[in-house]
Amino acid sequence: MKIHKEGRRILFFTLLALLAINLLLFQFNARAETFNLIFVGASVIAFLLLLQFFRSPFRNLLTHEDLLIAPADGKVVVIEDVHEPEYFDDVRKQISIFMSPINVHITRNPISGIVRYFKYHPGNYLVAWHPKSSTKNERTTVVVQSEAGPMVLFRQIAGAMARRIVWYVNEGDEVSQGEEFGFIKFGSRVDLFVPVDTEVKVQIGEKVKGGQTVIAQLKTTNPSLFGN
């Protein structure tokens, strides 16, 4: 198990701060031994929780040009046809994955192709499952021209706890399915927008793993045999 690069600085300074506070307590509050021991225990638990948030587990990535692979760990909370106003300005099928604080928060390219559009939007911090979080919260929008042909839009969306979105892609980049395209810190959501004739392979409430779970199959002239 590795620690993601986005967490190393935070973990280092958090560890230093907790060590300093605990040393000061034992130095200047030595009589309150019980309280000091409880604080030590709480410090260890808090650090371990932070450590697990920034974990970067090894994944055997599933790749195929017409399969849409989960961009993140989490639970499927939305599958519906909606109007997508930012890029397509037409009806698309939306598939949303909610990431709780205990999920791995690496975000991965759901498909291989060329980045045709990228934009960062500052915004609010509504809870990630709020219907308006997709258009009101801090977010990034990425549109990839897939190798299979169809265009796929996906968004990193900040939640009530998430206060920083990190991305590693720009317009014109060639991206590979399963590779990291960003990281969202402390609870969030990823939305996918695909053509309405896309065959969805997951259900509401299903838990998915980034880089491994097949979310959907794009309609192409030469489809794979997945799911047949």
Q: Which residues are catalytic?
A: 188
- Distance between CA atoms of residues 19 and 3, nearest Å: 20
What end-to-end distance do the CA atoms of the chain give, in Å? 35
Backbone angles phi, psi at 167, to 5 degrees: -135, 155
Helix, strand, coil fractions of the chain, as percent rounded to 5: 20, 35, 40
Tokens of 150: 């169809």
- 223-226: long-range pairs with CB below 8 Å, 24+: 223/66, 224/64, 224/65, 224/66, 224/67, 226/64, 226/67
In angstroms, the CA 73 to CA 53 distance is 12
Q: 142 burial class (0-12, 13-18, 19+ CB within 10 angstroms)?
A: buried
* Dist CA 187 CA 178 (whole Å): 20
Core vs surface per residue 6-38: b (16+ CB within 10 A) or e = bbeeebeebeeebeeebeebeeeeeeeeeeeee
Residue recorded with tokens 């880089």: 211
